Structure 1
Amino acid sequence: MRAIYATDLSAASEAAIQNETCLECLGRIGVDTIHLVTVIPSNVHAGMPGMNFSKRREQGLTRYQNVMEDAGFDTETHVVRGTPHRRINGIAEAEKADVTIIGSRGQSPLNNRVIGSTARNLARTTVVPLLVNRIERSTDEPDVLREHLFQRVLYATDFSENATRAFDAFQYLRHATQEATLVHVESPKDATSEADPAEQLASLADTLSQWDIETNVEVRRGDPAEEILDVEAAVTPTTTLVGSRGQSRMRRLLLGSVSEDIIAQATGNVYLVPPPRTA
């Protein structure tokens, strides 16, 4: 598997890249090649006083490259200029990446757990699965919040095609997963279905049990995002797995409101699976 690892060379990014357990988890799910990417914003120019960004970022990426190569990954570096999420997505497409990874600070005391703009824009436009790796906030020496990335997974489903595509990610995540909680939320707005959601979740749980993953299921009723976040708070998964939904040709792969709320407000890591590239 090929991964795009986006970094702004901040302390938060370094915390994730330098974390041996996080890197080991990526290796377990099959990642063997990593493209380290940093983007110099278009409005930053080389001639600006003290702004030798290209050289500084190349030096920073070389340091990270050494860490990842020591961990056993084939690693390439990319220093590019432009709008961060667009350039990151462009490289992901060009390199036929299987996943994009970005570190993001956790709760914001001012904005109630709002993720950074690049992570948010990637979540809305990503062309490949996106792992948002939560980093501690309000500290000069941050660390990742939950370093065993896929050890305990919370999978949220509405049984749609997009949710099924996200569940398919267990084909490779299972190599690092020990426990899973499967949750479906019945919304008052949903049309009545003849299918029993508990039975549908039980069927998915049977699949995971064949891979020796200990699984629990929950059916709730209420606002989907609120209920899923409530389950996350109760079971403290290392990663929440969700699918996103393409809604607009003009803005490509816009997140549905539920997925957007989860990726913005979840306490732990989030693994977001978008529709296929052809969507």
Structure 2
Amino acid sequence: MKAVCATDLSVASEATIESETCLECLGRIGIDEIHLVTVIPSNVHAGMPGIDFEGRRRRALKRYRRVIEDAGFEVETHVVRGTPHRRIVGIAETIGASLTVVGSRGKSPLENRVIGSTARNLARTTTTPLLVNRIERAADDPKVLRERLFQRVLYATDFSENAEAAFETFSYLRHATQEAMLVHVETPKDPGLPEDEDPEEQLIDLATRLEEWGIETQTKVRQGDPADEILAAEATYEPSTILVGSRGHSRLRRLLLGSVSEDIVARAEGNVLLVPPSGVV
């Protein structure tokens, strides 16, 4: 399996690349080839005096490459120009990546408002599963907040086809997952389930599948706003990663800034793994 690891060469984005535990977790789920990608924004010109942007980035990627190769992965590097999230998505599609990884400093009032952050734009447009790896905010030498990426997973479902696609990622996450909490949020805005379908029973059915893989599993049905309740469950359960489909019932949800998946990316304390529907464009 191939993964794209996007970096802007900041100390925050270095945290994932240089974390032996994070790399070990990626290896345990079947990743064996990592493509390091850094994007020079379109408004940065090669001829700007005194600044060798491309050369500096290539030197940094060479150092990162050694770290990742020493951890046992095959590595390719890409220095490209353009809009960061578009180029990252394009490279992931071109190489057939199974996962895209991007570091994020985590929630802040500003990030909740700014449309242009790479992580939030990737959350809206990614065509491959996206791991938003949470990094310490107020630190000169930031660390990954929860290094054991998939050890303890909070899976949120609305029982849609996309939520089922997200659940199927346990087929490879299970090699690194020990515990899981399965959550469904009932809300007045939810189209609802057929009367003969009990959400608690459906969660138990999913839990049974995970327990067959040796994953210790809990289930919970909550009521309220989906994003708020998922984040409240995160605060209680303290997972290493929230797993959620990146689209809801509505095909238009991906166009709304207030979508559940984007709220979770912006506000979650820990890592978030978003899974887009198959065939998304």
Q: How would you bin the TM-score normalised by the shorter chain?
A: over 0.9
- Closer, same or farther: CA 254–173 of 1 in aligned 2, 3 Å: farther
- The equivalent residue for 2:170 is 170
- The equivalent residue for 1:124 is 124
Answering whether residue 274 of structure 2 is matched by residue 268 of structure 1, we say: no
- Closer, same or farther: CA 95–143 of 1 in aligned 2, 3 Å: same
Q: CA deviation at 1:112?
A: 6.1
Match of 1:175, SS state, is coil
| Conserved? CA contact 1:108–1:114, under 8 Å | no
Alignment TM-score, normalising by the size of structure 2: 0.94
For 1:257 and 1:278, locate their aligned partners in 2 and report how far apart those are by CA, in whole Å. 16
Answering whether residue 133 of structure 2 is matched by residue 133 of structure 1, we say: yes
- The equivalent residue for 2:261 is 259
Q: CA deviation at 1:51?
A: 2.0
Q: CA deviation at 1:110?
A: 5.0
- The equivalent residue for 1:193 is 194
Percent of aligned pairs sharing the same letter: 70
For 1:26 and 1:94, locate their aligned partners in 2 and report how far apart those are by CA, in whole Å. 20
- The equivalent residue for 1:229 is 231
Amino acid at match of 1:92: A
- The equivalent residue for 2:219 is 217
For 2:115 and 2:10, locate their aligned partners in 1 and report how far apart those are by CA, in whole Å. 15
Q: CA deviation at 1:50?
A: 2.5
- Closer, same or farther: CA 76–103 of 1 in aligned 2, 3 Å: same
| Conserved? CA contact 1:128–1:277, under 8 Å | no
- Closer, same or farther: CA 266–109 of 1 in aligned 2, 3 Å: same
Over residues 87-138 of structure 1, what are the superposed CA-to-partner deviations in whole Å (9 max), with x where a residue is unaligned?
Answer: 1111111101111000000232655697970111111100100000000012
For 1:84 and 1:137, locate their aligned partners in 2 and report how far apart those are by CA, in whole Å. 21
Match of 2:175, SS state, is helix
What is the Cα-based RMSD across aligned positions, in Å?
Answer: 1.9
Q: CA deviation at 1:188?
A: 1.5
For 2:222 and 2:259, locate their aligned partners in 1 and report how far apart those are by CA, in whole Å. 18
- Closer, same or farther: CA 235–113 of 1 in aligned 2, 3 Å: farther
Q: CA deviation at 1:46?
A: 1.1
Over residues 200-241 of structure 1, what are the superposed CA-to-partner deviations in whole Å (9 max), with x where a residue is unaligned?
Answer: 000000000001000000001111111110000001000000
For 2:165 and 2:92, locate their aligned partners in 1 and report how far apart those are by CA, in whole Å. 19
Amino acid at match of 1:271: L
Alignment TM-score, normalising by the size of structure 1: 0.94
| Conserved? CA contact 1:106–1:115, under 8 Å | no
- The equivalent residue for 1:73 is 73
- Closer, same or farther: CA 66–129 of 1 in aligned 2, 3 Å: same
For 1:231 and 1:114, locate their aligned partners in 2 and report how far apart those are by CA, in whole Å. 25
Over residues 167-207 of structure 1, what are the superposed CA-to-partner deviations in whole Å (9 max), with x where a residue is unaligned?
Answer: 00000000000000000011122335321100000000000
| Conserved? CA contact 1:4–1:92, under 8 Å | yes
- Which 4+ stretches in 1 moved above 3 angstroms? 109-116, 253-256
Gaps of 5+ in 2: none
For 1:123 and 1:56, locate their aligned partners in 2 and report how far apart those are by CA, in whole Å. 28
Amino acid at match of 2:243: L
| Conserved? CA contact 1:187–1:223, under 8 Å | yes
Gaps of 5+ in 1: none
- The equivalent residue for 1:24 is 24
| Conserved? CA contact 2:107–2:266, under 8 Å | no
Aligned length: 276
